[in-house]
């Protein structure tokens, strides 16, 4: 029984950090007609240009669509609906832990007619309330780092972060790592002490 409990503790401990890792992005939006009314039941397809993987969905009663867990890359979005021209929006960049919004307006016409547009730059993310910084492999290789090229010092590149203690220390083991604070937050939780009773 003791061994089973110990094994269970190890499994849960190993699974906890993995759940916090984010490896995918999302694509969402609403499909309207030229008058601004939503179009339910429209066919929506997202094609990863690099891999050829395609995802399909239908818009909801509110005209919305969402593709979650998309791998990073460039996507083409194609939307078809009866009585409207097919629309393809190319070059949509999906990045890790970002919800990309692409609202679409379809024009009245035949399905055989199509409209192709190039996606614009990503706008401010309004579907998710988080702030994060992405560094690609080129930046990781090219950016100058302090002595010993400790990858943890990359936290200093994040806006609002302050340099941590023990960074790149050769006197301390790697297990001590380093600590950093962001946006004025403390690296350790505050401690509260009970006031000492006054002496009579």
Q: Where does residue 5 rank: exposed (0-12), middle (13-18), buried (19+ CB within 10 A)?
A: exposed
Tell whether 80 and 105 lie within a shared domain: yes
Res 121: pLDDT: 59
Res 81: pLDDT: 92
Asked whether residue 110 is domain-assigned, the answer is yes
Tell whether 62 and 107 lie within a shared domain: yes
Asked whether residue 73 is domain-assigned, the answer is yes
Phi, psi (5° rounding) for residue 10?
-65, -40
Provide the whole-model pTM: 0.59
Res 119: pLDDT: 66
Tell whether 96 and 161 lie within a shared domain: no
Asked whether residue 83 is domain-assigned, the answer is yes
Instruction: Give alpha helix (H) positions in 79-190.
Output: 137-142
Tell whether 109 and 50 lie within a shared domain: yes
Asked whether residue 198 is domain-assigned, the answer is no
Tell whether 31 and 82 lie within a shared domain: yes
Res 47: pLDDT: 95
Tell whether 114 and 136 lie within a shared domain: no
Tell whether 113 and 137 lie within a shared domain: no
Asked whether residue 57 is domain-assigned, the answer is yes
Beta carbons of 108 and 84 less than 8 angstroms apart: yes
Tell whether 156 and 104 lie within a shared domain: no
Domain range enclosing 38: 25-118
For residue 48, give every residue at least 6 positions away whose Cβ sits within 8 Å of its Cβ, in sequence order, or none.
Answer: 54, 70, 71, 73, 74, 75
Q: What is the CATH number of the domain that holds 55?
A: 2.60.40.1120
Tell whether 88 and 152 lie within a shared domain: no
The count of other CB atoms within 10 Å of the CB of residue 190 is 5
Count of the separate structural domains present in the chain? 2
Read out DSSP for 162-180? EEEETTT-SSS-GGG--EE
Asked whether residue 166 is domain-assigned, the answer is yes
Res 190: pLDDT: 57
Asked whether residue 45 is domain-assigned, the answer is yes
The CA dihedral of 82, 25, 16, 160, to the nearest 10 degrees, is: -140
Asked whether residue 155 is domain-assigned, the answer is yes
pLDDT mean for each 10 residues of the chain (200 residues): 44 42 84 94 95 95 94 93 91 89 88 64 61 71 67 70 59 57 61 66
Bridge partners, 92 (sequence order): 75
**Taking Cα atoms as reference points, which of 118, 15, 14, 137 lies closest to residue 72?**
137
The CA dihedral of 103, 105, 111, 112, to the nearest 10 degrees, is: -100
């Amino acid at each position: 029984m003791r061994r089973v409990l110990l094994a269970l503790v190890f499994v849960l401990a190993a699974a906890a950090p993995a759940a916090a890792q984010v490896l995918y992005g999302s694509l969402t939006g609403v499909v309207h007609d030229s008058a601004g009314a939503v179009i339910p039941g429209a066919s929506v397809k997202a094609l990863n240009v690099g891999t050829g993987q395609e995802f399909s969905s239908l818009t909801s009663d509110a005209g919305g669509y969402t593709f979650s867990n998309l791998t990073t890359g460039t996507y083409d979005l194609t939307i078809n609906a009866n009585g409207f021209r097919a629309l393809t929006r190319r070059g949509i960049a999906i990045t890790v832990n970002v919800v990309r919004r692409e609202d679409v307006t379809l024009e009245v016409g035949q399905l055989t007619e199509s409209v192709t547009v190039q996606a614009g730059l990503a706008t401010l993310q309004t579907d998710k309330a988080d702030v994060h910084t992405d560094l690609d492999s080129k930046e990781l290789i090219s950016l100058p780092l302090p002595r010993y090229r400790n990858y943890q010092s990359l936290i200093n590149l994040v806006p609002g972060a302050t340099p941590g203690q023990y960074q790149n220390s050769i006197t301390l083991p790697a297990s001590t790592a380093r600590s950093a604070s962001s946006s004025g937050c403390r690296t350790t939780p505050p401690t509260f002490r009970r006031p000492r009773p006054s002496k009579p």
